[in-house]
Structure 1
C-alpha cells in the first residue's frame, strides 16, 4: 500500500512540475569582440508583425544605432546583423515560448553571439521581457568574456 501511495505521489509531483520549464542562455563565438559594435542591421522575421520592433527599441535604449530591412547578400553596412527566431504557444492565450537572437558578422553572416530564452506557460514572460532577458544575457556574456581576457 505504501508503494502504491509513493508512486501516486511521485506521479502527482511530476505532473505539477512539468509545466515550469525555463532557460536563459547566451554564448559568444571564440574571438568575437562585441565592444566594437555601434550599429546593427536587424532583419525582421518573415512571419513577424511587431516583435522586431521590440528588439530594435531595446537595442536603441542601450545606445546602439539600429536599421531594419530585408535579408541581403553580405556585406551589410553595419557593425553586426541581428536575426531572431520566436516560437509561440497556445495556453488559453498565445504567449512567446522561446526567443533566440543571433548577432552575425556583417561580412560573412557567421554568428558572433547567440542568446536564448525559453519560458513555458507557468513561467511565461511578456515579449518585451523576453527580448530584454536575451539581450541582457548576451551583453553580460560580452562583459564577462572581456574581463577574462584581461
Structure 2
C-alpha cells in the first residue's frame, strides 16, 4: 500500500504543468539541435503564428535551414524564466549557439544569435486537459527585424539545391 502511495505521488509530481512544459521545451531545443522538422512540427500547435507570419511548418524549415549550417549544433538556454498562467505559459531565454559551423553562413548565424541582447520568448498553450498537450503557439525575439533580412523559410535549402 505504501508503495502505491509513493508511486502515485511520484507520477503526480511528474505530470505537473511545470515539469511537462520543461520536457516539451527541452524536446523543442533538441529538435533544433538535431535539425528534425518532424519533432519541431510535432511540438507546434496547428494555430502557430508569429510576427514574421510563419506557420509551424515554416518554423521547422527555418530551424532546419539555420541548423543545416553546422556539422554539430548545441543550443543552450541561459537566464531562463518560466511563467505559467492556466493553460498558457511563456518561457523566456537567451539562446547560445555552439558547435561546428560548416562555413561562413554558420559562423554568421552563430555570431548573430549569440550577440542578441533580448531573450527569445516561447509561448506555449495546453491544447486539452491532458498533461502532455502543451504546444508552441508563438516564438518572438525583439532584436530580429520584422523582415528577417529578407529571409524566407527554406531559402538555404533552395540555395544549396541551386534553385
TM-score w.r.t. length of structure 1: 0.28
- Specify which structure has the bigger relative contact order, considering alpha-carbon pairs within 8 angstroms and separated by 6 or more residues: 1
Which structure is higher in strand share? 1
Which structure is higher in helix share? 2
Q: Give the number of the structure whose alpha-carbon radius of gyration is greater.
A: 1
